[in-house]
Structure 1
Amino acid sequence: MEQPAASGPPNVAVRAAEKRGYAVSKEQPERPGRPTLDAGRSGGVTVVGDPPRRPHARQRISTTLDLIRANPTGRIALKIFIAIAGALVVTIGIALIPLPGPGWLLVIAGLGIWAVEFHWARRLLGFTRRHVHGWTQWVTRQSLPVRLVLGAVGLVFVATVVWLSLKYSLGIDVVAEVMHYLATH
């Protein structure tokens, strides 16, 4: 009887990578619900508890990235692609910071893209997560009046940034327009 294949990256991808001379790790941690060899029975009978599940998306992405990194050209191409994609998302996020919308969210998403390939971005993303989590925990421990003041300060800050952005980038002075409207009507 044949032994069951070791769980790991897709066999076609492994064979293709090995054919080209690249080393691909076939070891993966054991996952529940996967076929296992029952040592207590003779003949290597495979016992299946649950039906086999497809690997999670993270595991698939990790395996794909490992296969790409196994090739020297793929490793360089991946680094360039990640650098460009992260820079594009971060640049769009920075451009959107003064406007109402997901500016900071896009900056953090771009940092997450860079963190796939660059260690400095992974550290910076961890730093950002820790401080945002700490700020959020601190605010939730405060009384309602303090949270209302913090919210009001945040709204004033956002309104000021929007006003200055419109005034200096588009030449529209919203405050002057409102004052003119109130004076004429």
Structure 2
Amino acid sequence: MSERRDPPRWRRRISTTLALIRANPTGRLALRVILGVLGAVVVAVGVMLIPLPGPGWLIVIAGLGIWAVEFHWAKRLLGFTRRHVHGWANWVKRQSLAVRFVIGSVGMLFVGAVALLSIKLSLDIDVIGEVLHYFATH
């Protein structure tokens, strides 16, 4: 059996501070509202960034982590997400180099297609058409 370590000092301080805030009904309500709004803003920014190459999903998960401080449903959803992401990562690690290459290639093609579609729909720029037109005229 592995022995459990005490949480780090910063985590104990945060837990103590949150417990003090929650001890007061007004503080409890204010904490729920502040964390609810902050989590919603972070999740909204993450959702807007999902179609673009970058950390969109990571930002959504960070917003879920903010909500998980105060909301039980978010804590359960965050645990579910962590389990499945870790399971997927462990499965990919066990695959051969060829399979990992295919998974990475498909992922990059998907992100590229989403990025091109996002640029087309949001900026009305046909990147592929522009590139083909450039090569046809030069």
Q: TM-score range by the shorter chain?
A: over 0.9
Q: Is there any run of 5+ residues in structure 2 with no aligned partner, and where?
A: 1-5
State the alpha-carbon separation in 1 of the partners of residues 128 and 65 from structure 2: 38
Greater per-residue helix proportion: 2
CA distance in 1, matches of 2:100, 2:31: 44
Aligned-residue CA RMSD (Å): 0.9
Task: Find the structure with the greater CA-based Rg.
Answer: 1
Give the alignment's TM-score, normalised by structure 1: 0.70
Q: Distance in 2 between matches of 1:100 and 1:155?
A: 9
**Structure 2 matches for 1:1-185, cutoff 5 A?**
56-185=9-138
TM-score, normalised via structure 2 length: 0.94
After superposition, the C-alpha distances for 1:143-173 in whole angstroms (9 at most, x for unaligned) are: 0000000000000000000000000101111
Alignment gaps of 5+ in structure 1: 1-30, 32-54
Distance 2:117 2:86 in 1: 29
Q: 1:74-108, CA deviations, whole angstroms, 9 ceiling, x for partnerless residues? A: 00000000100000000000000001111001000
Deviations 1:14-52 (A, max 9, x none): xxxxxxxxxxxxxxxxx7xxxxxxxxxxxxxxxxxxxxx
Q: Aligned with 1:117: secondary structure?
A: coil
Runs of 4+ in 1 over 2 A off after TM superposition: none
| Separation (CA, whole Å) in 1 of partners of 2:132 and 2:9 | 57
Give distance in 2, aligned partners of 1:57 and 1:161.
40
1:40: which partner in 2?
none
CA distance in 1, matches of 2:25, 2:104: 51
In structure 2, distance between residues paired with 1:100 and 1:56: 36
- Which amino acid in structure 1 is aligned with residue 26 of structure 2? T
Deviations 1:119-160 (A, max 9, x none): 000000000000000000000000000000000000000000
CA distance in 2, matches of 1:72, 1:147: 52
Bigger relative contact order, structure 1 or 2, given CA contacts below 8 A and separation 6+? 2
